[in-house]
Amino acid sequence: MTALETLSESSCFGGVQGFYRGASAATRGPMRFGLFRPEASLRGARVPLVVYLAGLTCNEETGAIKAGAQRLCAEHGLALLTPDTSPREPRFPGDDASWDFGLGAGFYVDATEDPWAGAYRMFTHVTAELPDWLASFSIDTARQAITGHSMGGHGALVCALRLPSRYRAVSAFAPITNPSAVPWGQKAFSRYLGQDPRAWAGYDASALLAQGPFPGTILIDQGLSDKFLERELSSEAFERAAEAVKQPLLLRKHPGYDHSYWFVSSFMPEHLRHLAQGLGVI
């Protein structure tokens, strides 16, 4: 079991919001994460887990501080895990040259190209390593749901579609649903996964969905005043794939809402209800 360092713990809605650090084999360095535990977990009850994946430039604190999820998690008896968005050590040349690649922009893939393959294995960190780290808490990692925002929405959809037996429910806020076809994804995938677009399909939600549906309704919210909508987030390919495989999809488009956490926090209660229903707690 990985020894975890407690960075901080604060009482929150009857539970505890903590931030912790562990030595990651997947990313070959220390990784931080946030974890909210509701009151039942503090009493020793094993509670279901919601994973929230944040977007570009964010870290383990972003969703925990800005998304407004703890109150609803406390009401539903859910733990909330907020991972970091990339390795922070070791460092590679050019990993901080731009805001949409490298530090804060791991894209939740397991890189295959040098030098990134040496540490940028965020898919393994999120789906396998972090659940093992939670063994020291009263968390039932056999009951997980997942959500995320932007790059994190991409990550949530990919994790759920690749591992449908692990995640019982999934949702996303303004996700990158077809990264192989947009600049953000092409920039990241060509460096992390190589120049052949065929190698990207395993981390493209639209391509994954085309192989078969997720066993449950996928909830997506998108703001129509989002400045990234047309260039980076266009969901047409994902909608076509959903229609082709008869995937239940609730894609809601909201006039006036942008890409910010004002948008995320506005609809977080509905997403947590959706995830709680999938986990069977309401």
Q: What angle do CA 265, 268, 274 make, to 5 degrees?
A: 175
Catalytic residue among 226, 235, 271, 274: 226
Task: Judge contact between 116 and 148, C-beta under 8 A.
Answer: no
What percentage of the chain's residues is helix, strand, coil (to nearest 5)?
40, 25, 35
Catalytic residue among 24, 86, 150, 171: 150
Residue with tokens 């047409």: 236
Catalytic residue among 76, 149, 154, 259: 259
Q: How far apart are CA 13 and CA 26, in angstroms?
A: 33
3-state secondary structure of 23: strand
* Residue among 160, 173, 159 nearest 229 (CA): 173
150 is catalytic: yes
Q: How far apart are CA 168 and CA 39, in angstroms?
A: 23
206 is catalytic: no
Write b or e for each residue in 101-140: b if 16 or more Cβ atoms lie within 10 A of its Cβ, otherwise e.
Answer: bbbbbbbbbbbeeeebeebbbbbbbbbebbbebbeebbbe
Q: Provide the annotated active-site residues.
A: 150, 226, 259
